[in-house]
Structure formats: C-alpha cells, structure tokens
Amino acid sequence: MQAEIMRLKKEKGVCILAHAYQSHDIWEVADYIGDSFGLSQKAAQADASTILMCGVRFMAETVKILAPHKRVILSNSVAGCPMAEQITPEQVRKLKAENKGYKVVAYINTTADLKTECDVCVTSSSAVKVIKAVDSDKIIFIPDCNLGSWVKTQVPDKDFKFIAGGCPTHLRMTVGDVHEARRNHPQAAFLVHPECRPEVTALADYVGSTTEIMKFAATDTAHSEFIIGTENSIVQHLQLQMPNRRFFPLSKNCVCINMKATTLGDVLECVRGIGGEEITMDEQMRLKAKHCIDEMLRLG
C-alpha cells in the first residue's frame, strides 16, 4: 500500500501533509509531518496541485483558506475535532459586545466560520509569541481554557477572559496519573502538551506542542527516559525513532479517536481519487477567516 501511495502521489502531484498524531505508517508516506503551526506554514508554501491533509477537519480548512486554488482533501470525512465546535460565532459576537476593547484570540482548533469573528489565531507552539505581540493587553481566548491558562502563566501582564472549552482527549490525564508515572519512572523527565489541565501542566518539566515535545525528547542530554503527556501516537513515534531512549505514556487513555480515524487504506483511496472529502468554502467566509491566520503567521 505504501509503495502504491508513493507512486500515485508522484504521478498525480499530490502533497501529503500529516499531523504528528497520525500513525507511523502514514508518517512514512507523508511529505511533511508537524504540529498545527508547521502544517499552516507548509499549506501556505506548498506548490503541488492537490494537498491531502491527514489530520482533522479544521486543519484541512486551514489549508483551503491559505491555498484556495488547490484541491484540498481531508483524509477521512469523519475526522473532526470536537473542540473546534465548542463555541458558535453568535457566542463570540456576544462576548465581544460584553467585553469592549478586548481582542479575540482563537486557538487554530476552530471552524472557519468561527475564525471570521476573531482577530488572530494561535497554535500551541505560537500562542505565547503571538499573544505577546498582539497590540492589546485585553484578550478573550477561545475555546481552550487549559491552553489559555498556560499562556497566561507565560504572559502574566495581560488580562485574559476564557470560556469553558478544551480538548476531551487531553482532559483525560489527571494529577493522579502524574504521581503514578513519576513513582514508576523516577528518572524520567515529564513532558506535556498545554492542552492538559493546568494542575497537570504545572507538574511538568517541559510544556510544548507535539513537535516541541518531540524535539525536546530528542535533544535533552540530562535524561534518557521520558513520560509523555500528549496523544499516545507521540510515544510510539519517539520510541521508533530513538530505540536507545525510553518513552512512557502518562495515561493509556490519551488516544484521540478523530486523529486515529484515518488509516493507510484511506490515504491510498485519496491518492487514487476515490476517497476522502474535498474541502470547499464560500469565498467571503474564506477571506474573513484568512485574516486571523495571516496575522498568526506574521506575528508567530
């Protein structure tokens, strides 16, 4: 299957972008693997006529927003991110009306429709930099209050308002999991994604996006064992890449069924032209949503 995918993507001019949470067999056929910020940058630069996004819907929408003349395919149409739909554009309008003078910062895990109401987007790896650079000290941060709380600890001089949103996958990890993992692996460094609960993130040795966690684990010379507090595919990727180091999941429950919806078989059907879902978007909406992604790429 991988050989056929490699042959067809070359023949048909398909660029495969894969989020880091995709499985290793998909990594091996991808042209680029990365976190949400890296994927956005690649989407803006890619020169292939078709882009296949192996990830979730908001990621494919981001590609379409940045590359409107390309065919953009989402690898499996059921792959959505529940967090992206936790707040509606009407709710954002209401928040803005109630909090005059605040800038709305949206995690990139939001629908294109929602982005039309926001001033700037952020990803987990760009949030601190972007929010420091935003020309306002008053920030409404949607929808992930956990990521937002972590950013607040890094940018304490700004005033933040949050809503009760977040990633259901990262929420499964608890302080009890941290104590147990530390007991079982006392020599290990504990690395987490900022989508985790604040009380979990507060116990970490390092906080970062998926790509940043992987980079830290590959370059840290003080440790050879790591407890990984993010989607468990990262544990597998790291262990395959670095057999001389040891990687442990913080919890075996941290599996995102949406990220796992795509299989190698889906990728093959997509490059054959018989699978996935082509993303289309109203041009007015695209242009309004593009503004906050452009701002993120400029500031981040």
Residues that bind ligand 13P (CB under 6 A): 20, 35-36, 81, 109, 123-125, 167, 193, 195, 209-210
Report which secondary-structure segment, H or E, holds 247.
strand 246-249
Q: How many residues does the chain have?
A: 300
User: Residue 82's binding partner, choosing from ligand SF4, ligand 13P, none, with beta-carbon cut-off 5 to 8 A by kind?
Assistant: ligand SF4
In angstroms, rounded to a whole number, what is the distance separating the alpha carbons of residues 23 and 3?
A: 17
Nearer to ligand SF4 among residue 80 and residue 89 (C-beta): 80
Taking only Cα atoms into account, the Rg of the chain, rounded to an integer number of angstroms, comes to 19
Q: Among 147, 259, 267, 270, which residue sits at the site for ligand SF4 (rule: CB under 6 A)?
A: 259
Instruction: Report the alpha-carbon angle 127-131-135, nearest 5.
Output: 155
Query: Using CA atoms, how far apart are residues 235 and 230, in angstroms rounded to an integer?
Result: 8
Is residue 83 within the footprint of ligand SF4 (CB under 6 A)? Answer: yes
Binding mask 128-167 for ligand SF4 (x = CB under 6 A): ---------------------------------------x
Q: How far is the CB of 248 from ligand SF4 (least distance, A)?
A: 19
Mark 2-41 with x for binding to ligand SF4 (rule: CB under 6 A) and - for no binding. Answer: ----------------------------------------
Closest to 230 measured CA to CA, from 186, 197, 185, 273 = 197
Which residues 43-72 are close enough to bind ligand SF4 by CB under 6 A? 56
Q: Which is nearer to ligand SF4, 12 or 80 (CB)?
A: 80
Q: Does 255 bind ligand SF4 (CB under 6 A)?
A: no
Cβ at position 173, least distance to ligand SF4 in Å:
12
**CB-nearer residue toward ligand SF4: 27 or 102:** 27
Strands 50-54 and 14-19: parallel
Residue of the chain from 169, 211, 233, 262 that contacts ligand SF4 (CB under 6 A): 169
Q: In what order do the strands lie in the sheet with 71-74?
A: 32-34, 14-19, 50-54, 71-74, 277-278
With beta carbons less than 8 A apart as the criterion, state whether 87 and 142 touch. yes
Where are the extended beta strands (E) located within 108-235? Answer: 120-122, 138-142, 159-162, 189-192, 206-207, 225-229
Say how many C-beta atoms besides its own lie within 10 A of residue 106's C-beta. Answer: 27
- Site for ligand SF4 contains 231 (CB under 6 A): yes
Q: Which is nearer to ligand 13P, 57 or 158 (CB)?
A: 57
173 lies in the binding site for ligand SF4 (CB under 6 A): no
- H or E stretch covering 285: helix 283-299
The minimum distance between CB 144 and ligand SF4, in angstroms, equals: 8
Q: Which residue's CB is nearer to ligand SF4, number 59 or number 118?
A: 59
Tokens 């599996």: give the residue.
255
